[in-house]
Amino acid sequence: MSDFWLHPSLLLLLGAAILPLLPRAVKKGWLLLVPIVVFARVATMPEGVFGTVEFLEWTLTFGRIDALSRVFAYIMSLMAIIGTLYGLKVDDDGQHIAAWTYVAGSLGVIFAGDLLALFLFWELMAFSSVFLIWARRTPKALGAGFRYLLVHTVSGLALLAGIVLVGMARNGDYSFTAFDVHHPDLAMWLILGGFILNAAVPPLHAWLPDAYGEGTFNGSVFLSAFTTKTAVYALARGFPGMEILIVLGVIMALYGVVYAVLENDCRRLLAYHIISQVGYMVAGVGLGTQMAINGTVAHAFAHILYKGLLFMGCGSVLFMTGQSKFTELGGLYKKMPWTFVFTMIGGLSISAFPLFSGFVSKSMIIAAGFEDHKLWVGFLLTLASVGTFLHTGLKVPYFIWFGKNNCREETWRRAADPGWNMIAAMAIASFLCIFIGVYTPFLYRMLPYPVDYDPYTSYHISETMLLLCFTGVGFFLLLKKLEPTPTISIDLDWPYRMAGRAFYWLARKPIQAIDNAWGELYRTLGLVGLMRLALVAAVFDNRVIDGIVDGVGAKVRACGARVRGLQRGSLQENLTFAFATAAALIVAYLIAF
């Protein structure tokens, strides 16, 4: 490579690597500075192809900047500023390093011009983001993190297999362009499978609420923004016009809504609404028209902001009160009024009220469905919008800030609006949600295709207001039915959670059975002549065999406990740090040579 091209991910990785070396006094400044520098770098990059590297017999492209990659990178680096500001006071370098490495992975995927570079950053995302879940340091979070990693490792393997097959079929050409969606082959299905798992398309979605509900209060803000939207980018790049995505997208949009009715944990409810909202985008990719792709990109842009805002609102409640379940909250408007206002702005944005961001983005996808003469797409996505307002705009604010006060004394005492940095992060996101909704050219100018669409027609406004306001009527009519209950909902993570348990059972019960049978043998063969021998054997069994078995068992358990302890302790930070450094070195090496 002749001239040096500074990859924004490299800035983030270096920033993350330096962070733990800094004295406390300058750490906060560094946390604010690095994402701003990255954002400035992304926002001022000229279009073109940069950062091509010869590596063994492959040509890797790290910097493909065009309209599509630019707009995604723009919003993601903007969200990195807001998310880092929100978690500014978190005194845990590991989390900041994990978050930045994760964002670096996202930006790397978005700028990758070929499938090999894409895969490298794709895996970086999975392996860094899991630390945002583990950092919560609860047994539940530990389990959820392992499941998250398991699922993403499997999908990563599918993706890699697909990539290798594509490369073989194309004689070593790994460039990442739109696939021939009308003649899908095995390689394409594998790649699509890898992408749609990250987009949380049912039946490959259960990892999302499982993980995002257990992440740290600021970690889930990052999680909500990057994995699924990077997958939406990859789908929009590789599979526009793939018809099966329309069906899957509509199913997603409604699936998330149904589970949101049943959900008692506010962050899991929001996670189910990520599935629902990403459903619009997946359907938009499936429609594949210029308007639909524009709508998908616009909606991803708006979504990152309002969903981040909603997770910040509910994260503030969790951070301040230690609770995230509706059955432990209620009536908090007196204690956390500003958090309520910001969350409500997020709720109105996701519900697509006029003057809020969702109104100018979501409607593009629905309109594209109608214009493509797929009426069922338009009507079913509109039905999902009803569900969106029902939960995110009404259920979440009502049962946290109004409704029956279920707060315990301690919860009530601890509740208050959070610190300035969290308020500021929410205020910035709120401002952007409204700004996008009010001043449409800001977003529309960044879209990949020219926009011939005006959301502010009298009919569209009237349609939306009627739809949403009468949804509100339905909410208050059926308020009794929506009362939260202290339950969890079984989702498709059931098979692999239960498979683990079945394995445990298998390992325990048959061994127990053999031991019992052995003992039984002694008793039934209780002939006098054999008694002495049996006694010796029994002693041998008791002292030696059981001793060995129990000893090994105890050792394994102790080992497991120690490893588990390590994983929750400093090992995670060390690993994150080591991983970030290694990733930075690899990227630096590849770009410099």
Partner 1 sequence: MNLVRLIDYLREHLKTVIRVCYGFLALLVVLDALPFVVDKHHAHTQIEKIPGFWAVFGLVGCIILIVLSKWYGKLGIMQREDYYDE
Give the footprint of partner 1 on this chain (CB under 8 A).
257-259, 261-262, 333-334, 337-338, 341, 370-371, 375, 378, 382-383, 386-387, 390, 457-460, 462-471, 473-475, 477-478, 481-482, 485-490, 497, 501
Nearer to partner 1, 231 or 275 (CB): 275
Identify which of 328, 484, 324 has the alpha carbon closest to the alpha carbon of residue 412: 328
User: Closest separation between CB of residue 561 and partner 1, Å?
Assistant: 16
User: Closest separation between CB of residue 206 and partner 1, Å?
Assistant: 12
Nearer to partner 1, 100 or 401 (CB): 401
| Token code pair at residue 497 | 């959670």
Nearer to partner 1, 431 or 470 (CB): 470
User: Closest separation between CB of residue 340 and partner 1, Å?
Assistant: 8
- Estimate the crossing angle of helix 357-371 against helix 375-388, to 10 degrees: 160
Nearer to partner 1, 481 or 532 (CB): 481
- In a 13 Å sphere around the CA of 587, the CA atoms on its Cβ side amount to 30
Peptide bond before 337: cis, by omega within 30 degrees of 0? no
Q: 112 and 145 in contact (C-beta within 8 Å)?
A: no
Nearer to partner 1, 226 or 475 (CB): 475
Nearer to partner 1, 133 or 188 (CB): 133
Nearer to partner 1, 128 or 382 (CB): 382
Residue 66 Cα to chain centre, angstroms: 25
Nearer to partner 1, 142 or 341 (CB): 341
Please give the C-alpha separations between residue 17 and each of 421, 445, 478, in angstroms, as whole numbers: 23, 36, 52
Using alpha carbons only, give the angle 577, 200, 303 rounded to the nearest 5 degrees.
85
User: Closest separation between CB of residue 64 and partner 1, Å?
Assistant: 37
User: Closest separation between CB of residue 241 and partner 1, Å?
Assistant: 21
Alpha helix (H) residue ranges in 266-374: 266-287, 290-321, 337-350, 357-371
Nearer to partner 1, 164 or 341 (CB): 341
**Dihedral, 53, 58, 63, 67 alpha carbons, nearest 10:** 150
User: Closest separation between CB of residue 255 and partner 1, Å?
Assistant: 11
User: Closest separation between CB of residue 549 and partner 1, Å?
Assistant: 22
Residues 6+ apart with CB under 8 A from 39: 74, 77, 78, 80, 81
Nearer to partner 1, 55 or 504 (CB): 504
Nearer to partner 1, 31 or 407 (CB): 407
| Token code pair at residue 506 | 């298998």
CB atoms within 10 A of CB 404: 13
State how far the Cα of 5 lies from the Cα of 112, in Å rounded to an integer: 13
Q: Name the strand (E) or helix (H) holding 105.
A: helix 93-111
User: Residue 579 carries which side chain, given as an amino acid letter?
Assistant: F
The helix/strand/coil state of 59 is strand
User: Closest separation between CB of residue 564 and partner 1, Å?
Assistant: 16
Please give the C-alpha separations between residue 406 and each of 200, 366, 465, 485, 505, in angstroms, as whole numbers: 33, 39, 32, 12, 38
User: Closest separation between CB of residue 243 and partner 1, Å?
Assistant: 20
- Estimate the crossing angle of helix 420-438 against helix 67-86, to 10 degrees: 150
State how far the Cα of 19 lies from the Cα of 27, in Å rounded to an integer: 7
Nearer to partner 1, 96 or 374 (CB): 374
User: Closest separation between CB of residue 556 and partner 1, Å?
Assistant: 18
Nearer to partner 1, 198 or 471 (CB): 471
User: Closest separation between CB of residue 53 and partner 1, Å?
Assistant: 46
Identify which of 544, 571, 341 has the alpha carbon closest to the alpha carbon of residue 433: 341
Nearer to partner 1, 158 or 341 (CB): 341
Going 364 to 367 to 368 to 369, the CA torsion angle's sign is positive
State how far the Cα of 75 lies from the Cα of 80, in Å rounded to an integer: 9
Residue 55's DSSP bridge partners are 58
End-to-end CA distance of the chain, in Å?
6
Residue 64's DSSP bridge partners are 49
User: Closest separation between CB of residue 475 and partner 1, Å?
Assistant: 7
User: Closest separation between CB of residue 386 and partner 1, Å?
Assistant: 4
| Token code pair at residue 119 | 């895969």
State how far the Cα of 29 lies from the Cα of 299, in Å rounded to an integer: 32
State how far the Cα of 499 lies from the Cα of 186, in Å rounded to an integer: 28
Nearer to partner 1, 363 or 572 (CB): 363
User: Closest separation between CB of residue 488 and partner 1, Å?
Assistant: 5
Q: 242 and 288 in contact (C-beta within 8 Å)?
A: yes
Q: 136 and 213 in contact (C-beta within 8 Å)?
A: no
Q: 179 and 187 in contact (C-beta within 8 Å)?
A: no
State how far the Cα of 586 lies from the Cα of 575, in Å rounded to an integer: 16
User: Closest separation between CB of residue 144 and partner 1, Å?
Assistant: 11
